[in-house]
Amino acid sequence: MRKKTYLAALLFTLLAPLAGCGGGSDSSAGPGEAPHALRCGNGVCEFGEFCAVCPQDCDCTTPAATPPMGWNSWNRFGCEIDERLARETADAMEASGMRDAGYVYLNLDDCWQVSRAEDGTIVADPERFAGGMKALADYVHAKGLKFGLYTCAGTETCQGRPGSAGYEYIDARTYASWGVDYIKVDWCNTEGMSPRRQYRIMQEAIERSGRPMVYSICNWGRDYPHIWGPYTGNLWRTSGDIADEFLRMLYNFYFAEQLSAFAGPGHWNDPDMLEVGNGGMTNEEYRAHFSLWAILAAPLIAGNDLRSMTEETRQILMNTEVIAVDQDPWGLPGVRISRGLAAVWARPVAKEGARAVVLFNPFWFPKEMSVEWSSLGLASDRAAVRDLWLHGDLGVFTDRFTATLAPHEARMLLVQGSEHIPARGTTYLSDYPWMYASNAKGEVLRDLAATGTPLTLKGRTYTKGLGAFGSSRILYHLAGSCTRFSADVGVDDSASGTDGTVAFKVFADRVEVFDSGTVRTGMDPLRVDIPVDGADVLELVVETTGDSTYGDHADWADARIVCP
Ligand code: GLA
């Protein structure tokens, strides 16, 4: 049954029309400047800097400001876990360089717990964890790592151990007293429970415990966790369990990649933990797995035996250039910029004119693929390309980059071009190319509402503007040359009869400069007219407000910038 569903999902994507790809690359020019150079110290968290590398520059205190990185016991060890494995893994994370590459969470999954004491406190397996969880957490912390534990929202865990239902406050307090930094909460044995409500209880319990903990919602995508998850936890599983199998990895990826609009700093889509190094896929497939997770800004939680990694596995998990994309401080999850199964995903990174790109061939035969600079929202006809797996500059290419990809290969690139610069005067944003746009469904539309109908707010039709859904995020490069942004925002009339509820937010250089509060179907349009003086990047965001996305047709009507 499961297999059938994911084959259907793959087929569906396959049948979507393929985007046209032209040839015409030019690699004759000299190599571009290596766009990825690690350097810390100017107080700004830039591309290539992240907590493990530049704690002085980056936001290292907000839980999950970038996607969590670490290790979890489940994929490789299942229930065969004990404190020796945990300590040896902590040692290996330090010795192998994993910790310094950013993998800081050491998470024990199911089966560490056996019963509850009379007062309800959870009891760790006294044979396998004889030293107790506090001592283990201390050991892990002494290595400069953080400690995570698993529990389940239901009455029992998936392996029949005591669950947290009804014990949320006691459990969160206990974990806090042990020094736990990360909790994964599963969804077995939850008959009659609502995920939305149940996960909120643990959220409150964590808050009351007084210890910040990353909160990982693991309910396999049930009840649309991407909608309420951002208001509840730091990451949520978008589908069922991964397996160490190419098709199953793809299935999880294709689920998550449709949900990029819902994720961002502090709240991430989780296509599940990594299988890299577990032996069921080729190294080519593991590189694809790792590239696809990184372009989506997915959590990177290794699931292999870190004590005995092959050199190839180390090189995949510790590819700092790919990790830098995953951990980019802007936290913009990659979006698909072509159709079909063999497709291209891209995301801007915190470096002007730079885009991370993945071209991926899921087929069992070689495939020629291209990415065009215009589809990346770049202005230049020439751009330098760096291959993040070859660790080398490929040269400067005109208009596009084309390559023939081996079966199951992902090419991961950093493209360095230049950004658009707005013309002087007043410009409608629908006439100006964006750097990035994510949308809950389909594409953001220019001069039409998200539904393809004319932009209409309370009976007034607008000829110009942007039509998006909740959630969505659109970025424009202003080059520091604009003074104002204005628009009429509201839920489009096409949503009449629904309870569309969204919030419009505007950010200038990542600082919030406008928040509409909750805007509903049928409300009068709200006028936004705000200064954006000197901002390089303008970001238009629509949030779902955590309820259903039905009717969330969000119009940025008449959206324009003034750049004198
Ligand atoms: C579920 C989760 C897995 C793992 C197991 C443990 O299947 O989705 O990630 O935690 O339970 O029993």
Burial degree of 445 (CB within 10 A; 0-12, 13-18, 19+): buried
The angle formed by the CA atoms of residues 293, 296 and 300, to the nearest 5 degrees, is 40
User: What pLDDT is attached to residue 375?
Assistant: 97
Instruction: pLDDT band for 22, please (50, 70, 90 cuts).
Output: very low
Render pLDDT for 153-207 as a digit per residue (tens, 0 to 9).
999 999 999 999 999 999 999 999 999 999 999 999 999 999 999 999 999 999 9
User: What pLDDT is attached to residue 3?
Assistant: 41
Render pLDDT for 485-495 as a digit per residue (tens, 0 to 9).
999 999 999 99
List the alpha helices (DSSP H) in 375-490.
none
Higher pLDDT, 546 or 528: 528
User: What pLDDT is attached to residue 459?
Assistant: 97
Render pLDDT for 49-99 as a digit per residue (tens, 0 to 9).
999 889 999 999 999 999 999 999 999 999 999 999 999 999 999 999 999
Q: What's the 65 CA to ligand 1 centre distance in angstroms? A: 24
Examine the pLDDT at 420 and tell me if it is beyond 50: yes
Examine the pLDDT at 26 and tell me if it is beyond 90: no
Does 274 contact ligand 1 (Cβ within 6 A)? no
What does the alpha-carbon distance between residue 459 and residue 241 come to, in Å, rounded to a whole number?
Answer: 47
Higher pLDDT, 39 or 472: 472
User: What pLDDT is attached to residue 548?
Assistant: 87
User: What pLDDT is attached to residue 304?
Assistant: 98
Average pLDDT over residues 552-558: 98
CA distances from 445 to 8, 554, 556 (A): 28, 11, 10
Q: Which residues neighbour 285 within 8 Å (Cβ) at sequence distance 6 or greater?
A: 246, 249, 408
Whether 426 and 560 have beta carbons less than 8 Å apart is answered as yes
List the alpha helices (DSSP H) in 296-351.
311-317, 320-326
Average pLDDT over residues 245-262: 98
Q: What's the 199 CA to ligand 1 centre distance in angstroms? A: 16
User: What pLDDT is attached to residue 41?
Assistant: 83
Does 109 contact ligand 1 (Cβ within 6 A)? yes
Tell me the residue ranges of DSSP E strands in 470-524. 472-477, 484-491, 501-508, 511-520
Locate 75 and state its tokens: 């994929």
Percent of the chain with pLDDT over 70: 93
User: What pLDDT is attached to residue 39?
Assistant: 72
Percent of the chain with pLDDT over 90: 90
Which residue CA neighbors atom 3 of ligand 1 most closely? 241
Whether residue 338 is preceded by a cis peptide bond, meaning omega within 30 degrees of 0, is: no
Render pLDDT for 425-466 as a digit per residue (tens, 0 to 9).
999 999 999 999 999 999 999 999 999 999 999 999 999 999
What does the alpha-carbon distance between residue 218 and residue 153 come to, in Å, rounded to a whole number?
Answer: 9
Instruction: pLDDT band for 38, please (50, 70, 90 cuts).
Output: low
Mean pLDDT of the chain: 93
Average pLDDT over residues 103-121: 98
Does 153 contact ligand 1 (Cβ within 6 A)? no
Active site residue 186: yes
Average pLDDT over residues 32-46: 66
Examine the pLDDT at 32 and tell me if it is beyond 60: no
Whether 148 and 107 have beta carbons less than 8 Å apart is answered as yes
What does the alpha-carbon distance between residue 182 and residue 459 come to, in Å, rounded to a whole number?
Answer: 49
What does the alpha-carbon distance between residue 553 and residue 546 come to, in Å, rounded to a whole number?
Answer: 15
Phi, psi of 79 (to 5 degrees): -85, -5
pTM for the predicted model, two decimal places? 0.94
Locate 492 and state its tokens: 């489009």
The residue whose CB lies within 8 Å of the most ligand 1 atoms, and thus the one to mutate among 72, 111, 186, is 186
User: What pLDDT is attached to residue 12?
Assistant: 38
Instruction: pLDDT band for 340, please (50, 70, 90 cuts).
Output: confident
What does the alpha-carbon distance between residue 344 and residue 337 come to, in Å, rounded to a whole number?
Answer: 6
User: What pLDDT is attached to residue 280?
Assistant: 98
Instruction: pLDDT band for 297, please (50, 70, 90 cuts).
Output: very high
Q: Which residues neighbour 3 within 8 Å (Cβ) at sequence distance 6 or greater?
A: none
Q: What is the DSSP letter of 443?
A: P
Which residue CA neighbors atom 6 of ligand 1 most closely? 110
Helix (H) or strand (E) holding 405: strand 400-405
Examine the pLDDT at 472 and tell me if it is beyond 80: yes
Max intra-chain CA distance, the chain:
74
User: What pLDDT is attached to residue 40?
Assistant: 86
Active-site residue (options: 241, 381, 447, 509): 241
Closest CA to 164 of 97, 209, 128, 126: 209
Examine the pLDDT at 268 and tell me if it is beyond 50: yes
What does the alpha-carbon distance between residue 358 and residue 296 come to, in Å, rounded to a whole number?
Answer: 10
Q: What's the 457 CA to ligand 1 centre distance in angstroms? A: 46
What does the alpha-carbon distance between residue 270 and residue 250 come to, in Å, rounded to a whole number?
Answer: 13
User: What pLDDT is attached to residue 1?
Assistant: 34
What's the length of the chain? Answer: 564
Average pLDDT over residues 206-231: 98
Examine the pLDDT at 390 and tell me if it is beyond 80: yes
